Amino acid sequence: MSNKKEAFNICITRNQPFAYSETFIRNQIKKLSEKANVFSLHSGRLPEKEEDGNNIYPKHKWIIHKILRGITQNRNTFISNKVLAHYLTQNKIDIVLSNFGMSAAHMSVICNKVNIPLVPHFHGFDATKQKVIENYRALYKQMFQSSPAIVAVSEVMKKKLIRLGAPEEKVKVIPYGINLTNFAPAIANKSTEQFIFIAVGRFTAKKAPLLTIKAFEKVCDKLAHVSLIMIGGKEGLFAACEQYVQAQKLESKINFTGTMSSEKIAEYMQQAHAFVQHSITAANGDMEGTPLSILEAAASGLPVISTLHGGIMEAVLHNKTGLLCEEKDVDAMAENMLTLTQNPTMAQQMGLAGRKHIEEHYDLDKQSQKLFELLKSSITDFHSNV
């Protein structure tokens, strides 16, 4: 594979500066920057800033845009459209890759004006959350018609986008990729005194951390040599989880670490024996795409205990690389945890099979190349159909 950059310009947009939970976007920008010229914009569903934090709006236009947005309650004002259109044309952008459907819908309006193709990249809630769908259904349909391709991270998400009006032939499933060097099976022998479960993720409704804790509690009732590490920011449902752990006197069994760097997470996964996450469809419709932490765990040689939910059903092969149960079935999850705890050889074999599955289907270099090739072909397809 050639290391020479292609002579075209990609603009990548995202809602916010790098969030600790969005390393998949950091990887996306880094890998595509190795293949072409990348300009990235962030901050807001209609992005406002360049990578270095500089606002792309001249000060007077920024003020007018904010006033107009307040009056119209629309992010696409006359000023915003003009400023972003100028940015795209001035930098000779060939294609826009817009992360999250909402941002893509706003950017699509501008791209259509300057005849630049846009590929929306959906990640999860942007294709499932009820309020988002209600507010963006019409904009999505317009965007689907003008976009040469649409990226989904799982087959489940692809089906949801088709139901929202996306042409089936346009929706391409490209899950996230994992750096197989950064996340690798442990070389040294792990502890035989404790069986360590690990969970990594935000304390959000769709990740159902309290259900994970309740399943683990049932394991604690039967086995003494188990512990659970939960890595994630102390927001959302964290307070409720912490209170439950205290009330049930599980403090010695469960360790809340707070947020951690990707490197530190990799170290913790080297110590663990199995990964757990009880993902569910939240009351507001919010669903997972393909959880990055599950891919990282499998790449680390850990069997995954989770649910039949979203892209998890593709990332984890039931009874081969992990054990899955129905959403909200805490008893079944507890049984799956017990099964692996009592059968460490099975856990190890599943973990190794999981690593192989990631190598074959979720390698970062391979997935990045797929995305890059899609962007290249989308430029050609767009202009041939204009």
pLDDT digits (tens, 9 = 90+) for 131-185: 999 999 999 999 999 999 999 999 999 999 999 999 999 999 999 999 999 999 9
Neighbour tally for 9: CB within 10 Å: 17
What integer pLDDT is reported at residue 16 of this predicted model?
85
Confidence of residue 385 (pLDDT cuts 50, 70, 90): confident
357 membership: H or E segment, kind and range: helix 344-361
CB 199 within 8 A of CB 269: no
- Percent with pLDDT over 70 in the chain: 98
The beta-strand segments (E) located in the chain are 9-13, 37-42, 49-50, 95-99, 118-121, 150-152, 171-173, 195-200, 226-231, 254-258, 274-276, 304-307, 322-325
- Length of the chain (residues): 386
pLDDT greater than 80 at residue 330: yes
* Mean pLDDT value across residues 301-313: 97
Looking at every residue in the chain, the average pLDDT score rounds to 94
| Nearest 10 degrees: Cα torsion 239, 266, 198, 243 | -10
- Binned at pLDDT 50, 70 and 90, residue 191 comes out as confident
pLDDT at 21 over 70: no
Q: Which two tokens stand for residue 132?
A: 């988002």
Domains 9-177+363-385 and 195-361 in one fold = yes
| Strands in 51-170 per DSSP E | 95-99, 118-121, 150-152
Q: Which CATH architecture has domain 9-177+363-385?
A: 3-Layer(aba) Sandwich (3.40)
User: Is 342's pLDDT higher than 80?
Assistant: yes
CA distance 292 to 307: 15
Query: Which pLDDT belongs to residue 3?
Result: 59
Residue 212 near residue 276 (C-beta atoms within 8 A)? yes
State residue 1's pLDDT score: 44
| pLDDT reading at 129 higher than 80 | yes
Q: Give me the residue spans of the domains in the chain.
A: 9-177+363-385, 195-361
| pLDDT higher than 50, residue 9 | yes
- Amino acid at residue number 253: K
Q: pLDDT, tens digit, for every residue of 227-247?
A: 999 999 989 999 999 999 999
Reported CATH class of domain 195-361:
alpha beta
